[in-house]
Amino acid sequence: MTQDVEMKELTVVPSISVSSKDVSSTFQILKEIVSLLETGAYAREVRRIGQAVRRTIQLRRKLKAFVLSSFLNYALTQGSEAHTRLSSYLPKEDEHDMEVDTATSATPLVKQSLPELEIYCYLLVLIFLIDQKKFSEAKSCSSASIVRLRNINKRTVDVLASRLYFYYSLSYELTGDLAEIRGNLLALHRIATLRHDELGQETLLNLLLRNYLQYNLYDQAEKLRSKAPRFEAHLNQQFCRYLFYLGKIRTIQLEYTDAKESLLQAARKAPIAALGFRVQCNKWAVIVRLLLGEIPERTVFMQKGMKKALRPYFELTNAVRVGDLELFRSVADKFASTFNSDRTHNLIVRLRHNVIRTGLRNISISYSRISLTDVAHKLRLNSENPVADAESIVAKAIRDGAIDATLDHANGWMVSKETGDVYSTNEPQLAFNSRIAFCLNMHNEAVRALRFPPNSHKKEKESAEKRRERQQQEQELAKHIAEEDDDDF
């Protein structure tokens, strides 16, 4: 509770004027984070480290070079390797800042340096460098931290390490050198697997998938994904990312049903704040649903904050719904740059087939008998031999069960069959089944997602205080016995 109040007070202070009060309160929070880290490290409580990371992210905007350098003086031993290296990344502070600096860092923390603290300093400096857009420094800083991390095998460091991996990859992505670190990431993933560091594995797997997909290496991504060890997701964010990448891979490999499931789940699970991510998920989900022959509801495109971004996809959906090839072509041309930057262009090309199918279905519903010339004309097939094209397209649609009709070659027309009563088929049963399956699945997922406070089952056994008391008694007793033994001789 107290933390929240503090944070609110801080946000009131305008960040432009660097008052010394602001600086000192930032510094104060950093100190609190350090104490959190320390208790976490000593008590081996991963939860506290996670808390520390979360508070750091909240602090992100307020970080200034001089605050950081005084914090480094405070947290790390002067002249140690980490201290010299990290200080070199920070810009030199001017006179004014020095005053504040001396005021805040009067009492350096004199302790043997905890690995958690050192890694935390790396993380802090790295976040600062990325925010300041000093990407080349960020790259060398993150690489140095990764080298340092390899030699630390501690569960409490894992939380910090997974964040570091993330920023490591981000700093390389921002400069467009993602391919360079692929080998390193793979090695890190292997190390994390050997150390049973599930958080690290989860983060690194996502980073690797992202790395592959950046270069459209879907084959490699799928091979890695299918062979990497799977376990229950630890962090919701990572799980969302994983689902999104999975959805993308499945879409490319034409497994639309699975792709749709993953993409929709990713969009639903993503936090409200992650607007960009949700927009991406929705874009892909719309295309996949179109490829499946479904028409997404209008509400999908009207979601808050997404209206503009989803506009091209809305028009595309409209074209597919109408089944008009000409309209489809013009939409695809009009938004070609958007589709290219979203890298959905190839998927849009695949949609052509669906547009034809919808158009054909509309024709077969409206007419009981229509000549193939008219079909070709209505579908606007622009080819040398439209009638022959139309005939074989219709034939394939009939075979795939998209329309229920027969062709008469001699007369050159298509005869639609009477649409039967849908309730005489298995269709309602199937729809009913899929809905029940969805509900049951939802229930099971909800049960699985329930969280229980850690170690609550041990509460009844003994509290820490009692244990210490008992141990003391036992020790005294042991001493007593030993003395008695001495007396005997």
Partner 1 sequence: MDPKLTEVSQLFERLKASLMRNDLDNCSNLLSQLKVMLTGFRSLPPLFEDSPNAVQELTIARNIYEHAVVLSVKAEDQDAFERDFFQLKPYYTDIGARLPPSSQEYPILGLNLLRLLVQNRIAEFHTELELLSTNALENPCIKHAVELEQSFMEGAYNRVLSARQTVPHETYAYFMDLLVKTVRDEIAGCGEKAYDYLSIIDAKQMLMISSDQELCTFITEERPDWEIKNGLVFFQKAKESAPCKEIPSLQLINQTLSYARELERIV
- Work out whether 443 is an interface residue with partner 1 (CB under 8 A): yes
Between CA 381 and CA 378 the distance in angstroms is 8
Smallest gap from residue 185 Cβ to partner 1 (A): 17
Smallest gap from residue 244 Cβ to partner 1 (A): 16
- Work out whether 407 is an interface residue with partner 1 (CB under 8 A): yes
**x/- letters, 220..239, toward partner 1 (CB under 8 A):** --------------------
With contacts defined by CB under 8 A, how many residues of the chain interact with partner 1? 43
Nearer Cβ to partner 1 (13/407): 407
Smallest gap from residue 214 Cβ to partner 1 (A): 12
- Work out whether 397 is an interface residue with partner 1 (CB under 8 A): yes
Smallest gap from residue 103 Cβ to partner 1 (A): 53
- Work out whether 11 is an interface residue with partner 1 (CB under 8 A): no
- Work out whether 111 is an interface residue with partner 1 (CB under 8 A): no
Residues 327-356 that bind partner 1 (CB under 8 A): 340, 345-346, 349-350, 352-353, 356
List 11, 39, 88, 216, residue binding partner 1 (CB under 8 A)? 216
- Work out whether 394 is an interface residue with partner 1 (CB under 8 A): yes
- Work out whether 425 is an interface residue with partner 1 (CB under 8 A): yes
- Work out whether 292 is an interface residue with partner 1 (CB under 8 A): no
Nearer Cβ to partner 1 (137/342): 342
- Work out whether 366 is an interface residue with partner 1 (CB under 8 A): no
Between CA 378 and CA 397 the distance in angstroms is 16
Return left, alpha or beta for 463; rule: phi > 0 is left, psi -120 to 50 is alpha, else beta: beta
- Work out whether 448 is an interface residue with partner 1 (CB under 8 A): no
Nearer Cβ to partner 1 (42/432): 432
Q: Which two tokens stand for residue 109?
A: 């923390």
First to last CA, the chain: 62
Nearer Cβ to partner 1 (42/215): 215
List 193, 218, 228, 361, residue binding partner 1 (CB under 8 A)? 218
Smallest gap from residue 430 Cβ to partner 1 (A): 10
Smallest gap from residue 410 Cβ to partner 1 (A): 7
Tokens 């209505």 sit at which residue?
378
Smallest gap from residue 201 Cβ to partner 1 (A): 25
Interacting stretch for partner 1, rule CB under 8 A, among 296-304, 310-318, 439-447, 472-480?
Answer: 439-447
Nearer Cβ to partner 1 (64/182): 182
- Give the per-residue SS3 of the chain: CHHHHHHHHHHHCCCCCCCHHHHHHHHHHHHHHHHHHHHHHHHCCHHHHHHHHHHHHHHHHHCCHHHHHHHHHHHCCCCCHHHHHHHHHCCCCCHHHHHHHHHHCCCCCCCCCCHHHHHHHHHHHHHHHHHCCCHHHHHHHHHHHHHHHHCCCCHHHHHHHHHHHHHHHHHHHHCCCHHHHHHHHHHHHHHHHHCCCHHHHHHHHHHHHHHHHHCCCHHHHHHHHHHCCCCCCCCHHHHHHHHHHHHHHHHHCCCHHHHHHHHHHHHHHCCCCCHHHHHHHHHHHHHHHHHCCCCCCHHHHCCCCCCCCCHHHHHHHHHHHHCCHHHHHHHHHHCHHHHHHCCCHHHHHHHHHHHHHHHHHHHHHHCCEEEHHHHHHHHCCCCCCHHHHHHHHHHHHHHCCCCCEEEECCCCEEEECCCCCHHHCCHHHHHHHHHHHHHHHHHHHHHHHCCCCCCHHHCCCCCHHHHHHHHHHHHHHHHHHHHHHHHHC
- Work out whether 254 is an interface residue with partner 1 (CB under 8 A): yes
List 152, 186, 187, 395, residue binding partner 1 (CB under 8 A)? 395
List 433, 471, 472, 475, residue binding partner 1 (CB under 8 A)? 433
List 9, 131, 219, 326, residue binding partner 1 (CB under 8 A)? 219
- Work out whether 269 is an interface residue with partner 1 (CB under 8 A): no
Between CA 47 and CA 271 the distance in angstroms is 21
List 153, 236, 373, 429, residue binding partner 1 (CB under 8 A)? 429
List 1, 5, 12, 410, residue binding partner 1 (CB under 8 A)? 410
User: What is the chain's Cα-based Rg?
Assistant: 31
Q: Which residues are at the interface with partner 1 (CB under 8 A)? A: 216-219, 252-255, 340, 345-346, 349-350, 352-353, 356, 383-385, 388-389, 392-399, 405-410, 425-426, 429, 433, 436, 440, 443-444
